[in-house]
Structure 1
Amino acid sequence: MLGLLDFNFYNSWLFVLLLPAVAVAIAAILLVARYRRSFREREMQLHAAISNSEQGFCMFGPDGRLQLWNESLLQIYMIPPGQVLSGRSFEELVDVGRAVGSEARELRDLVELRDSIASGEASSLTIELLDGRHVKILQRPMPNGGWMATHEDVTDRKQAEARFAYVALHDLVTGLPNRAALHHRIAENLKTAKDNNARFAVIRLGIDRFKEINDVFGQSAGDAVLAEMARRLGESCEPGFLARPGGDEFSIVTPPDQAASAMEDIFSRLAVICDSEFHIDGQDIRVGSTAGVSVYPDDGEDSETLIAHADIALYRAKAETRGTVRRFESAMDRQIREKRALQRDLAVALKNGEFEIYYQPQATAQGQAVGFETLLRWHHPVRGMVSPGIFIPLAEETGLIGAIDEWVLRTACAEAVAWPNPLAIAVNFSPLDFRHLDVPELIRSVLLETGLAPARLEVEITEGVLIDDFDSAIAILRRIKDLGVRIAMDDFGAGYSSLSYLQAFPFDKIKIDQTFIAKLDSNVDSASIVEAILGLSRALRLPVIAEGVETQSQLAFLTRHGCDEVQGYLIGRPQPVAHYRDVMNDVAAVARVGAVA
């Protein structure tokens, strides 16, 4: 009996001693089971995400062999079902793609991708396939020595970027380089000519009475005349640089050359086509043209002066001897004197109260007013209404633009705050304002002074604000945005880097340049570009307003493709504030703005 008691006593103490270990073992078993269940759930979620993704996905093990992929990857590279892919190396998969025609156009792309994999570093690369498609590959290493990658077909995006890049530097009607490209070429010539003591000419050629051609034969015939003139000039001005800055004018820049005969040869060839007959749509159209010439360094030592003097020579030739090629002469200074007189008048215009703000409505595609853009007008006491295209550049040249823009901002905000209908007000700023003024502080003080809600103010800028000092401009725009003010990019699509600017800064709105809207009915490229911009805006969730809407067909196109807002003569012309007083006062207004205009 005593032995039995001793045995039970011993076992009970043994049980007490083993109890913690047993508990730990049980907890470990439960934890492992829970981890395995969680791992299986996550694995199932990962497989579901990979299967449902529109992007191609693949994962390689530490041995460099394919372990996992999805259906989208096969679709991107057009790999038919039934292919044995599991366990294949990167090089073997390249051979599979090559067999079905999904091969990289450039060998260096494959080499770069292979090198990034070997380096064990993350990489991003867009490759072009032989069939013209573009695939973006994002490759990331994994801790176990393997790597995973996503593959996305970005062909549409690449084509849109290429189209934007082309449009930024080319005229749509003729396919020639545009104004921006022209200035770039002159800048290059200036550097070369200065380095080599050479000379070159800037030629401005205008088609005589081009408006009459449009009126008599129609705009399509006018465009055909421009295209044919571009072709003939291209043959005549070689090896010069030919551009179409706009309107009925072409520009030619001769190569820097020390021999005067090289320029004279081009002048002679141009004179031959100054009176030509074009055969357009079964009709013979007599087309006359006139050219003005300035020469570096005789007639100017910078781009602006050379172009201005070539223009002066052109205008003088059109007034006196159409159909000729005329050199600039120092006696052609009447225009310069007139310009200086206008500059003097401009200096006192603000003080004398000669400026007035006109308001142009902005509306939804259904005609509901959402705001107004402010447009400056100058009532000259002698000349009458002076075009903004004339006095705004003068104000920028003389440094008066800052004071004028400040007056517009203060006046417009004070006017808008009194409207019962809290419509937005859009104000334009010159790129020079961002260099010489503290624009954010100016806006802040005006908002405090007038009491206008920041959300009602919209600042419109062009890419000129961003070109010279990008980082500084972005910092200024962020300060403005921090005030609660909205910022819109004006003339979108017509500049160098519009797409990159959208990536760099969160604009509240983009305005499609009116040159594209004007050609919606007549130019397929313009329609494609506008459609691409609207598609891009939807992807970025970025509101769009189209300016220059003048016809119902343009409005119908924009509505059909989801444009948010419109502005133009169809909606309402720029008018003094009294003209739109009913819209500004009626909070419940639902009638079309066009009816008021």
Structure 2
Amino acid sequence: MAELSSAPSAHSLGMIALAAVLCALGVVASYGGLRSIRVSEGKLRRHWMWATAPAATSAVAAAAALALLVASDAPSAPIWALGLMTGSVIATTCFGMMAVWLNLLAGRRTRLTLAERDMLLDAIVNDTARGFCLFDAGGRLQLWNEAFLDIYGIPPGRDIAGKSLLRILALMRSAGNFVTDPGQLIELRAALVSRGPTSVVADLRDGRHIRIHLKRLPNGGWIAKHVDITDHKQAEQRFAYLALHDVATGLPNRAAFNERIVASVEQARRFDGSFAVIRLGIDRFKEINDVFGQAVGDAVLAEMARRLADTCHWGFLARPGGDEFSIVTPPDAAADSIQDVCRQLARLCDSEFEVDGHRIRVGATAGVSVYPRDGEDADALIAHADVALYRAKTEQRGTVCLFEPAMDLQIREKRALQRELAVALEQRQFEIHYQPQATTSGEIVGFEALLRWRHPIRGMVSPALFVPLAEETGQIGPIDEWVLRSVCTEAASWAKPLAIAVNFSPLDFRRLDVPALILQVLLETGLEPSRLEIEITEGVLIDDFSGAIAILRKIKNLGVRVAMDDFGAGYSSLSYLQSFPFDKIKIDQAFTRKLEINPETAAIVEAILSLARTLKLPVIAEGVETESQLAFLARAGCDEVQGYLIGRPQPITHYRALTAGEPMGAARVAKAV
């Protein structure tokens, strides 16, 4: 009987079995919770951590109950075990409820994520501007959009699903839209082997340029996006051309000419050679413009450029600007070859041109300097050729004059002007004239301040003459500071808050603390910073690009606007617009003047305006003199204009009605002045 009583009862066995089941359930629940923690992120991960705690508690409580029932003979053991099992059941139930809630939450998030991905994929596939294609790990096409087919001219009904990359390239070749450069194909293959995202530009046979962005997928396949960047490339090519060419004649410009002289000096020095630098100017060109009109004058320039190109095919011909042309002969040790050049040019110095029904006698004068006799560097050769040209124009027009050391008249004149310039600011000989700026609809929105020098003996001295001298002697800094302070004082007194634009020399950015100067003047005068616009030329950015950009950012931080002046001439580059957020770009007047007679110039202006719209940059065109020029710019989307059609540069007293706030459109302003 004693043995029978010591054996576990059926009730005890049932409790042991229940405890074991609860322990197993707790372990399984804990394992599931830990896996969910591992695969979850963010808030969901933290929720699973809280949910797993009851599961672990359930397993521990059931295990403790099982141990009590099996190993303990105490009378209270079943009671404690029952309490632990009850807690285990409660904990398991809590875990189950939280697990159901969390799974529902995860399912909802998954559906939202899938919906977002479906929307994104749909947007990519249906994007009409960008081609899209997806290849699997085996290099076979799985997904594409219509834009991909359009870019490469693949017929829409063509079965290309599952085709290899080589087969797709063969289809492109048959459609006539294959990559022409073998090097680009090699670059494309290298990009496919690369593990990281890569971008390749492919030049197609039909002249288009396609940028291909490649990205590898974890499964070994890849995604490719194809974007037609032909317009962007053509715009870059136009600007690259303009950087080294003159718009009016198509000849290389001053920048290209200077580069050529430097290269010729190096070559002649290496081979003990000699070459000539020739500066040729059209005589009385201003009279041709005044009598026959600017269009005829431009045609004369173009015809002279053509004749010089025919005559001087052996040399490098450029047009630095104005009515002057420059020539660099090939390095040649023979002195008689330079004399032969002079004889050829002399035949061009008195010619008859027929332009637009007009027979015009055109004279020209040339000055020549020779390396190394007249100078051993580019600056000296150019300066001495200019001195020879000046001497010839002074004494005998229509001739070719070789430089001689005795030709120091112009140098003395230059030094005298420098001395007089040194006292011009102190003696208050400078004046500021204001030229109005207007919207294309005719509303006057501001002025540009222009410096003038009224010499007591010489009269009005051209800025083209005295500004380079001021820069050369270092006087430009104090002059520009006086202009800024005077202009801001004047503008702050206006009843109507019109904008005012002030030019700064590139040298100011190297010798002055321009942002500190502007801040000081704004505080002194009380002018609102937003009304002031600082105009810079690309020369500010050429020598120290990063330093200039830092200075311009400080100016913008003051609330002052910064504009790029003479955009499209000289060293124009898209990289400037990419590197600094200019508030406005100003189209050079050389483009505006050609709008009515040169389709290429009109196309260039339209390209500049299109680029500006893309970059959300306001544009002002200077040199607007005719209604047709204004109409063209308005149609092309130009924001503002400046020129004689709107108003001539005048002392501010001529524009008192405007600054006083009286309603006055551009037509009335031009008529008034």
TM-score, with structure 2 as normaliser? 0.83
- Which of 152, 162, 180 is residue 105 of structure 1 equivalent to? 180
1:138 paired residue number = 213
1:490-511 CA-partner distances (Å, limit 9, x unpaired): 0001122431100011000000
In 2, Cα distance between the equivalents of 1:484 and 1:82?
Answer: 57
2:644 corresponds to: 569
Which structure ranks higher in relative contact order (CA pairs < 8 Å, sequence separation ≥ 6)?
1
Pick the aligned partner of 1:260 from 335, 338, 351: 335
Alignment partner of 1:187 is 2:262: yes
* Residue 594, structure 1, aligned to residue 670, structure 2: yes
Deviates more, 1:130-139 or 1:456-465: 130-139
**1:519 paired to 2:597:** no
For 1:556, the equivalent position in structure 2 comes to 631
Equivalent residue, structure 2, for 1:85:
160
Distance in 2, Cα, partners of 1:72 & 1:329: 68
**1:401 — aligned with what?**
476
Task: From the superposition, tell whether residues 222 and 427 of structure 1 become closer, same or farther in structure 2 (CA, over 3 Å).
Answer: closer
Residue of structure 2 equivalent to 1:460: 535
What is the Cα deviation at residue 22 of structure 1? 4.5
Change over 3 Å in CA distance of 1:567–1:281 after alignment to 2: closer
Distance in 1, matches of 2:169 and 2:237, equals: 27
1:374-397 Cα offsets, whole Å, 9 max, x none, are 111111111111111111011011
- Does the alignment pair 1:41 with 2:115? yes
Moved more, 304-313 or 539-548: 304-313
1:50 and 2:124 correspond: yes
* Aligned counterparts of 1:230 and 1:316: Cα–Cα separation in 2: 23
Report the aligned-residue RMSD: 2.6
Q: Partners of 1:590 and 1:248 in 2: how far apart?
A: 35
Give the share of equivalent positions with the same residue, in percent: 63
Amino acid at match of 2:450: L
Deviations 1:402-434 (A, max 9, x none): 010011111111111111211111111100111
Matched, 1:332 2:407: yes
Q: Residue 9 and residue 122 in structure 1: after superposition, are their counterparts in 2 closer, same or farther (change >3 A)? A: closer
Residue of structure 1 equivalent to 2:513: 438
Q: Which amino acid aligns with 1:231?
A: R
Summarize deviations over 1:35-56 as a string: whole Å, max 9, x none.
5423431232022211342211
Query: Is residue 390 from structure 1 mapped to residue 462 from structure 2 by the alignment?
Result: no
Structure 1 CA distance, aligned partners of 2:215 and 2:662? 55
Pick aligned residue for 1:115 from 181, 187, 190: 190
Give 1:343's aligned residue: 418
1:155-177 alpha-carbon deviations (Å, 9 max, x no partner) = 11211221122122112232211
Distance change in 2, residues 1:427/1:285 (3 Å): closer
Distance 2:95 2:403 in 1: 103
Cα distance in structure 1, aligned partners of 2:620 and 2:220: 50
Mapped to 2, the partners of 1:31 and 1:110 lie a distance apart of: 49
Moved more, 225-234 or 531-540: 225-234
377, 398, 405: which one pairs with 2:452?
377
Deviation at 1:353, TM superposition (A): 0.9
Q: 2:171 aligns to what?
A: 96
In structure 2, relative to structure 1, the CA distance for the partners of 1:489 and 1:403 (3 Å cut) is same
Q: Do the aligned partners of residues 464 and 193 (structure 1) sit closer, same or farther apart at CA in structure 2, a change above 3 Å counting? A: same
User: Which piece of structure 1 moves more, 271-280 or 114-123?
Assistant: 271-280
Matched, 1:226 2:226: no
Aligned residues, how many? 596
Shift of the alpha carbon at 1:290? 2.2
C-alpha contact (below 8 Å) 1:361/1:371 kept by paired residues: yes
Kept after mapping to 1: 8 A contact 2:240/2:573: no
Partner residue of 1:235? Answer: 310
> What is the DSSP-based 3-state SS (H/G/I as helix, E as strand, rest coil) of the residue aligned with 1:496?
coil
1:584 equivalenced with 2:662 (yes/no): no
User: 1:344: Cα distance to partner?
Assistant: 0.3
Tell me: CA distance 1:158–1:348, structure 2 relative to 1, closer, same or farther (3 Å): same
The 8 Å contact of residues 447 and 454 in structure 1, kept in 2 or not, is answered as: yes
- Who is 1:490 aligned against? 565
Q: Is the 8 A contact 1:410 1:446 kept in 2?
A: yes
What amino acid maps onto 1:594 in structure 2? A
| Cα distance change, pair 322–495 in 1 and its aligned pair in 2 (3 A) | closer
Q: Name the residue aligned to 1:536.
A: 611
Letter paired with 1:99: S
Moved more, 278-287 or 564-573: 278-287
Shift in Å at residue 70 of structure 1?
1.5
Superposed counterparts of 1:161-200, under 5 Å = 161-200=236-275
- CA shift at 1:583, angstroms? 1.0
Offset at 1:349?
0.6
2:465, 2:358 → 1: CA distance? 37
Is 1:149 matched up with 2:224? Answer: yes
Contact 1:363–1:593 (CA<8 Å) still a contact in 2? Answer: no
* Aligned mates of 1:237, 1:526 — CA distance in 2: 26
Q: Tell me, yes or no, if the aligned pair for 1:511 and 1:544 is still in contact at 8 Å.
A: yes
1:275 matched to which residue of 2?
350
For 2:77, the equivalent position in structure 1 comes to none
Matched with 2:546 is 471
Partner of 2:199: 124
Displacement, 1:127?
A: 1.8
Following superposition, the deviation at residue 238 of structure 1 comes to 3.4
Q: For residues 190 and 174 of structure 1, what CA distance do their matches in structure 2 show? A: 26
Contact 1:171 1:244 survives alignment (8 Å): yes
User: Bigger radius of gyration, 1 or 2?
Assistant: 2
Q: Tell me: CA distance 1:571–1:81, structure 2 relative to 1, closer, same or farther (3 Å).
A: same
Call closer, same or farther: CA 1:144–1:451 in 2, change over 3 Å: farther
1:219 Cα deviation from its structure 2 partner: 4.7
Instruction: Report the Cα distance in structure 2 between the residues aligned to 1:402 and 1:139, rounded to whole angstroms.
Output: 52
